[in-house]
Amino acid sequence: MISTTDIRRPADSSAGRSAPAATVLIAARDAAFRAGLGRLLSDRCGFEVVAEAGSGPEAARLTGPCSPRILLVERELAKAMGPLHGPGLVLIADEPGPDGLADALAAGARGFVPRSPDPRLLEAVLRHVLAGGCALAGEAFGELTGAPGRPYAPRFAGHHRRIPLLSARERDVLGLLGRGLDNVGIAGELRLSLASVKTHVSRLLAKLHLENRTQAALVANEAGLADPLGVPG
């Protein structure tokens, strides 16, 4: 019997191969689909697949010992993985629309790829996530690959016009919320005290007429403020 899990050894650099750019764990229910996606990542995109899992709990269990930089997970399985820290979570799913995007951000996802991705799209999304960015909206695919995506109407478009009311530091905090950072992470990125971060978050929510951090993260991504290059250190 073939196990649903395949933990792979790192590539042997002594064999004359250059080290892969990044490591990936794939979680999907179908073994043939996992194998095909793994070959695409290795042969066409330059990534190293360090593990495969057939369920969400299995993927969560393997994340620690395998230490992947990217978790590429079927959307249905991600719900069973619990809180994740460290690797970038990219969901395998159709483009989610505004409501699915909100759920994905709440779960910590930083990108989406379709079930049958073009290699160029797959690599662009994963490398963008590795750089600290998000590739969640339909139009983001076009920006990353040069190909047209399927845009959707921003869920919080009416709040975008209030962004100019934010101070420069509040915009920085908003961008980091869009990248999925918690208050501690934001404090470290911007060299602020935790109390200052909490104050900035409260003020930007009030100025943008938003109810919570998830809504703020959505606004940041919809408005293009979650790009790591746009946030000063």
Residue 140 lies in a domain: yes
Q: Are residues 10 and 118 in the same domain?
A: yes
| Per-residue pLDDT at 95 exceeds 80 | no
| Per-residue pLDDT at 85 exceeds 70 | no
Among residues 145, 171, 189, the one where a domain terminates is 145
Residue 209 lies in a domain: yes
The model's confidence at residue 194, banded by pLDDT at 50, 70 and 90, is very high
β-pair type (109-113, 88-92): parallel
The Cα–Cα gap between 141 and 111 comes to 10
Q: Are residues 40 and 133 in the same domain?
A: yes
Q: Are residues 176 and 125 in the same domain?
A: no
The Cα–Cα gap between 22 and 81 comes to 21
Residue 210 near residue 202 (C-beta atoms within 8 A): no
Q: Are residues 113 and 140 in the same domain?
A: yes
Residue 152 lies in a domain: no
Residue 150 lies in a domain: no
Taking residues 107-135, what's their average pLDDT? Answer: 78
Among residues 114, 145, 176, the one where a domain terminates is 145
Taking residues 199-207, what's their average pLDDT? Answer: 96
Q: Residue 122 is encoded by which pair of tokens?
A: 């797959």
The CATH number that applies at residue 35 is: 3.40.50.2300
**Structural domain range at position 223:** 157-230
143-148: long-range contacts at Cβ-Cβ below 8 A with a sequence spacing of 24 or more?
145/118, 145/120, 145/121, 147/118, 147/120, 147/121
| Per-residue pLDDT at 207 exceeds 50 | yes
The Cα–Cα gap between 129 and 111 comes to 7
State the pLDDT at residue 76: 84
pLDDT in tens, 40-63: 999 888 889 999 999 999 999 999
Work out the percent of the chain whose per-residue pLDDT is above 70.
68
State the pLDDT at residue 166: 95
Our CA dihedral for 205, 210, 216, 221, rounded to 10 degrees, sits at -130
| Per-residue pLDDT at 26 exceeds 90 | yes
Q: Are residues 19 and 131 in the same domain?
A: yes
What domain count does the chain have? 2
Q: Are residues 55 and 128 in the same domain?
A: yes
| Global confidence as pTM | 0.56
Among residues 92, 121, 145, the one where a domain terminates is 145
Query: Residue 149 class from Cβ within 10 Å (0-12 exposed, 13-18 middle, 19+ buried)?
Result: middle
